[in-house]
Amino acid sequence: MNVTVVVMNGALRLNDNKALAKASGFKEPVLPLVIFPESLWKKTWFEYPSMGPHRQSVLHRAMLSLEQQLNEVGGTLWASNQSVGASLKHLMVTVNVVRIIGTHGVGAYEQQMQQEIEQMANQSSILVEWVWDHTLLHPSQLPFSIDNAPRSFSKFRKQCEALPIEPPVAVPSIQYSRVQPPLSVEQVFQVPAADVASQGTGGEAAAMAHLTHYIWESKAILHYKNTRNLSIGPNVSTKCSVWLSTGVLSPRTIAHEVRLFERKVKRNESTYWVLFELLWRDFFQFQCQRYGMQWYAFGGLQGLADAPPTYNQYVFESWVNGKTNEPFVNGHMNELRQTGYMSNRGRQVVASYLIHDCNQDWRRGAEVFEHYLVDYDVASNIGNWMYIAGCGNSATKRIFNIQNQQKKYDPGNNYVQKWLNC
């Protein structure tokens, strides 16, 4: 049986999906595939595996939801935790793969997987195409090439924020392959016994329900700019990042709902600021694509020749385990370890403390975030760590006064009291 395989990694959704939309134009049935090699989950920079229990749990739930969606429309989801080679070999024994379409990724792991898929496909004369589908703006819209993108966000924003935003992609009716996979998602991916994820669980239906509640029902979007940095409280920020990171939700869909709300209800500084933050996300995605492996270097985009600071195990582990002399730092690190989440301001505060107060390598902190965060995204995570360290697009070091940050963003001490002794 001839099939078009759509690699769903990075776009775990059926709606507003450019890869699926492209696949629908071919005559062959579409076979959705996810490949998350277990070896990737265990990769380390220094000591922490790439994917901890929180991220595993969120990814598992998203795939379960996608599998259910596909079953409801007569399709199946092929899932594999083996290498790319083993995954495709097993698939090609069962069906005749005519072409492979997937969503382009900007991270080193994602691009390595893409290269392995291309190499395997070339050996069997299989066509491969990657579509760009994880940013608000498409590279073709930009007034510059990615390699010549402005190095400062302010310049990027000024040139890009007036550009039209594509509407969500309408995916035509698709004939899905009915060939049954040998194993279900539940059988392939063994998640930790304690399902610890508390943020952004589920698939498209849960994501859209959350987005609808935040924008239309609670109208919390109207105070987003004023509350987004608070450490605690209902609807203080959009909390959409986890669905963006897994590709369950596209930035276009969020922008579409925001613009619709602005037309029908109200437009203010906070509604604009949600779109502003999506542009920040785009900026890091394009920068990560541009700089390749330099994205992971200690000297960062500044190309600093300084040697990394000496690793102090006691200091570093005190930071990870919330045992420092700063309650505000400890509370955030405790929340991170227990839930896989931390507010954006909290991330900046604990990063500043590790880099500038503890004199530790920013990459070790980025690795901890990669391990724990349910909304981990390689571009935003490393981009923000370099921003604080002063080795990203700006050489300015961002040094926070921890006590002042606590007074400003946890004035009632409610957050620290909740998380300090956990």
pLDDT tens track for 338-358 = 999 999 999 999 999 999 999
CA angle 156, 158, 161 (to 5 degrees): 90
271-295 residue pLDDT tens = 999 999 999 999 999 999 999 999 9
Three-state SS at 103: strand
pLDDT of 299: 96
Q: Are 189 and 60 in contact (CB under 8 A)?
A: yes
**pLDDT tens digits for range 197-225:** 455 578 999 999 999 999 999 999 999 99
pLDDT of 367: 98
What pTM, to 2 d.p., does this model score? Answer: 0.95
Pairing of strands 96-103, 78-80: unpaired
> What single string gives the DSSP state of each residue in 315-380?
HHHHHHTT-SS-HHHHHHHHHHHHHS---HHHHHHHHHIIIIIS---HHHHHHHHHHH-TT--HHH
Judged against a pLDDT cut of 70, whether residue 194 lies above it is answered with no
Mean of pLDDT values over 391-396: 93
3 state DSSP class of 406: helix
Domains of the chain, first to last: 2-133 (3.40.50.620), 204-291 (1.25.40.80), 297-419 (1.10.579.10)
Label residue 193 by pLDDT band (50, 70, 90): low
